[in-house]
């Protein structure tokens, strides 16, 4: 693998996290010559899908992985690593305890698989969810924890030594970011929704998202990645996940809220190197990362 190539690894949980969370950022970096690798830990089998979307596919898993391949192609993702865990469902659902679910998996094992991918891909920059998983999804939180652990394990040959014995080299990525979002609009929405007859504590097609709790979990924003020129590609990638868009596509307050939350920049908290005290907001996740190509 050439050391002069910039590589970005996204460590996520579901087929659609890449497009709904940071499609614009991915499209921009791919266009700038960065190789983007994606870990998708679950098959997303609990993403509600109307029967019309299932006609061509044998299962929700097949449907959602096909949607992921569609999005990855639009975005120009170099490679997808699927870990094959079962979607754990929203917090508190009985699916959390399913033996194959990511939430029930041994954290050592999940972190080991992420470590192996970091050692193989050798990304300078790693991105995962914030500690609350954006909106509290158990799979997002599990991947946050596994990725933080793997980020620090990958350079240490005493961690998962069987991978070193198998020929992988220890590797230290330079930077770790958490994808997060500005809660200001959300706090506004939480106040306005009751006026529109919506309950912010029972949001989404399954009414299992509590916007009030999400608004209360706030993380600092250390990097803003503008993707004005890539909004069309980001939209095409989102549209690949048609089965998941159904609830949002219906006209009404939800659509209004979606437009409200749409911006032309993705926002990230920098976890490593740690930000101490005052900081200037970064505009590039690779800021300060030097490769042989002299970035
Ligand atoms: Zn997700």
Q: How far is the CA of 131 from the centre of ligand 1 (A)?
A: 14
Provide the percentage of residues in the chain whose pLDDT is more than 70: 92
**Structure tokens, 265:** 């920049």
Q: Could you tell me the residue ranges of all domains in the chain?
A: 7-183+218-253+264-272
Which residue is listed with tokens 């192609």?
A: 73
Q: How far is the CA of 133 from the centre of ligand 1 (A)?
A: 8
Per-residue pLDDT tens for 59-106? 899 999 999 999 999 999 999 999 999 999 988 889 999 999 999 999
Q: How far apart are CA 102 and CA 105, in angstroms?
A: 5
pLDDT value at residue 295 = 39
Report the mean per-residue pLDDT for the chain: 91
Distances from the Cα of 30 to the Cαs of 23, 83, 123, 209, in angstroms?
Answer: 11, 23, 14, 32
pLDDT value at residue 262 = 67
Per-residue pLDDT tens for 170-208? 999 999 999 998 888 889 889 998 998 889 998 877 787
Check if the beta carbon of residue 118 is closer than 8 Å to that of residue 126.
yes
**Structure tokens, 98:** 């399913």
Q: What is the SS3 string spanning 11-50?
A: EECCCCHHHHHHHHHHHHHHHCCCEEEEEEEECCCCCCCC
Given pLDDT bands bounded at 50, 70 and 90, which one contains residue 249?
low
Q: How far is the CA of 44 from the centre of ligand 1 (A)?
A: 8
CATH placement of domain 7-183+218-253+264-272: 3.40.50.10320
Q: How far is the CA of 14 from the centre of ligand 1 (A)?
A: 5
Q: What is the pTM of this model?
A: 0.91
Given pLDDT bands bounded at 50, 70 and 90, which one contains residue 58?
confident
Q: How far apart are CA 224 and CA 283, in angstroms?
A: 5
Q: How far apart are CA 84 and CA 107, in angstroms?
A: 15
Q: How far is the CA of 3 from the centre of ligand 1 (A)?
A: 31
pLDDT value at residue 224 = 96
Q: How far apart are CA 236 and CA 218, in angstroms?
A: 29
Does residue 29 surpass a pLDDT of 60?
yes
Planar angle of CA 80, 175, 265, nearest 5 degrees = 70
Q: How far apart are CA 7 and CA 78, in angstroms?
A: 10
Does residue 259 surpass a pLDDT of 80?
no
pLDDT value at residue 254 = 58
Element (H, E) at 177: strand 175-180
CB atoms within 10 A of CB 181: 20
Q: DSSP readout, 86-150? A: BP--STTSGGGG-TTBTTTS-HHHHHHHHHHHHHHH--SEEEEE-TTHHHH-HHHHHHHHHHHHH
Q: How far is the CA of 42 from the centre of ligand 1 (A)?
A: 9
Per-residue pLDDT tens for 196-246? 888 999 887 778 788 999 999 999 999 999 999 999 999 999 999 998 887
The dihedral built from the CA positions of residue 68, 248, 226 and 233, taken in this order, carries a sign that is: positive
The 8-class DSSP code of residue 203 comes to B
Does residue 167 surpass a pLDDT of 90?
yes
Q: How far is the CA of 18 from the centre of ligand 1 (A)?
A: 9
């Amino acid at each position: 693998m050439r050391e002069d190539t910039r590589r970005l690894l996204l460590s996520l949980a579901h087929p659609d996290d890449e497009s709904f969370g940071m499609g614009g950022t991915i499209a921009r970096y791919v266009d700038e010559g960065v190789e983007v690798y994606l870990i998708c830990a679950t098959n997303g089998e609990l993403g509600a899908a109307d029967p019309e979307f299932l006609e061509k596919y044998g299962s929700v898993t097949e449907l959602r992985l096909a949607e992921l391949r569609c999005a990855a192609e639009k975005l120009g993702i170099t490679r997808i690593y699927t870990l094959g865990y079962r979607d754990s469902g929203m917090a508190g659902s009985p699916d959390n305890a399913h033996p194959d679910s990511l939430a029930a998996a041994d954290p050592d094992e999940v972190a080991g698989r992420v470590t192996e991918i970091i050692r193989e891909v050798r990304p300078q920059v790693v991105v995962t969810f914030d500690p609350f998983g954006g909106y509290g999804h158990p799979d997002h939180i599990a991947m946050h924890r596994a990725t933080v652990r793997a980020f620090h394990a990958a350079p240490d040959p005493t961690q998962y030594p069987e991978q070193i014995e198998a020929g992988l080299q220890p590797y230290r990525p330079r930077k770790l970011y958490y994808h997060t979002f500005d809660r200001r609009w959300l706090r506004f929405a939480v106040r306005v929704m009751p006026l529109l007859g919506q309950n912010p504590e029972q949001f989404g097609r399954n009414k299992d998202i509590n916007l009030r709790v999400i608004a209360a979990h706030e993380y600092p924003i250390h990097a803003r990645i503008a993707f004005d020129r890539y909004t069309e590609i980001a939209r095409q990638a989102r549209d690949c996940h048609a089965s998941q868009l159904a609830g949002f596509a219906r006209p009404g307050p939800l659509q209004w809220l979606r437009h409200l939350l749409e911006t032309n920049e993705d926002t990230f908290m920098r976890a490593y190197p740690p930000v101490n005290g005052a900081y200037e907001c970064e505009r590039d996740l690779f800021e300060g990362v030097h490769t042989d190509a002299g970035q």
